[in-house]
């Protein structure tokens, strides 16, 4: 496994892989790797002849009062995990390497960014659009792997790739969970023991929704209310959003829409704060043949 800290160094290594005719799978991350990232790495390795991991805590996707400075980092452990999961190259650039000057170019994806984290974290997806565009140009992967844990990010990047004709297949990967259902996240380390035990309310709500949706006459508005009430029952949980939207367009549903009769996939997306820690989770519900938990 080769470690590259500069764009020039990475391009040289990538050039050698391409000369050997290898297809390239790419997994962009912010590090502090866990089993969710590992599942992306394994899939990239399985489906391509070479796999590239990037680790970069991207400042442009954090708001001024967010956790950029205290975002957890552990380079040594990350490199071990990358090696164990068969990565050929790891790209570990500094902020100066990626942004030697203040960028004057914006990558703004509209529509799919208006709700959910796009509304709660103004500018977040502009930062994501910019860094993913830069990384795609640098790496030029055949396939890029993204977790459905961040389903809105998948929708945004799919749109970006289509609109700007990036020559890459976006591969969405299922959310990896703790045994009690909590979605793995680098931010879970911020939780106190008590918050950690209450945090199970997110995945629990998605499971309950799966049971409620098939009930005759269940409307979007009623479902969202039930989920909110359930989350409010967890001590220390403060709801940022609970929304049921069409997926992947992330368009609103009318409150009286009967969920069972909808001919398209919907997403139930949650963001809940425990103290300063904001957790997200979601589940997709397919129209025919009942309900799918992704």
Instruction: Look at residues 129, 178, 169 and name the one whose alpha carbon lies nearest to residue 149.
Output: 178
Q: Which of 4, 24, 40, 234 binds ligand AMP (CB under 6 A)?
A: 40
Binding of ligand AMP by 85 (CB under 6 A): no
Q: Which residue is nearest to ligand AMP, using beta carbons?
A: 147
Catalytic residue status for 37: yes
Q: How far is the CB of 248 from ligand AMP (least distance, A)?
A: 14
Taking the least distance from each CB to ligand AMP, the nearer of 183 and 271 is: 183
Q: Which stretch binds ligand AMP (CB under 6 A): 132-140, 175-183, 222-230, 253-261?
A: 175-183
Q: How far is the CB of 175 from ligand AMP (least distance, A)?
A: 4
Binding of ligand AMP by 172 (CB under 6 A): no
Taking the least distance from each CB to ligand AMP, the nearer of 158 and 260 is: 158
Please state, in angstroms and rounded to a whole number, the distance separating the CA atoms of residues 30 and 70. Answer: 13
Instruction: Look at residues 189, 54, 208 and name the one whose alpha carbon lies nearest to residue 131.
Output: 54
Q: Which residues bind ligand AMP (CB under 6 A)?
A: 29-30, 36-37, 39-40, 146-147, 149-150, 173, 175-176, 183-186
Residues with a known catalytic role: 37
């Amino acid at each position: 496994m080769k470690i590259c800290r500069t764009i020039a160094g990475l391009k040289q290594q990538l050039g050698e892989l391409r000369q050997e005719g290898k297809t390239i799978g790419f997994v962009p991350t912010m590090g502090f790797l866990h089993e969710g990232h590992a599942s992306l790495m394994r899939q990239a390795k399985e489906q391509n002849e070479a796999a590239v991991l990037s680790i970069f805590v991207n400042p442009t996707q954090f708001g001024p009062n967010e956790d950029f400075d205290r975002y957890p980092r552990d380079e040594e452990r990350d490199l071990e995990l990358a090696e164990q999961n068969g990565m050929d190259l790891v790209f570990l650039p500094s902020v100066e390497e990626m942004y030697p000057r203040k960028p004057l170019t914006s990558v703004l994806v509209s529509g799919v960014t208006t709700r959910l984290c796009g509304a709660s974290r103004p500018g977040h997806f502009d930062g994501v659009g910019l860094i993913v565009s830069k990384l795609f140009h640098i790496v030029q992967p055949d396939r890029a792997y993204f977790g459905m844990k961040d389903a809105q990010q998948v929708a945004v990047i799919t749109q970006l790739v289509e609109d700007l004709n990036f020559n890459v297949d976006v591969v969405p990967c299922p959310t990896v969970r703790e045994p009690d259902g909590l979605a793995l996240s680098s931010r879970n380390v911020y939780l106190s023991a008590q918050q950690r035990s209450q945090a199970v309310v997110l995945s629990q709500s998605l499971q309950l929704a799966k049971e409620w949706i098939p009930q005759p006459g269940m409307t979007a508005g009623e479902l969202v209310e039930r989920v909110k009430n359930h989350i409010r029952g967890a001590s220390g949980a403060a709801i940022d959003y609970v929304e049921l939207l069409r997926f992947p367009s992330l368009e609103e549903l009318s409150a009286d829409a009967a969920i069972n009769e909808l001919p398209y996939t919907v997403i139930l997306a949650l963001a809940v704060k425990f103290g300063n820690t904001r957790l997200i989770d979601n589940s997709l519900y397919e129209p025919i043949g009942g309900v799918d938990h992704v």
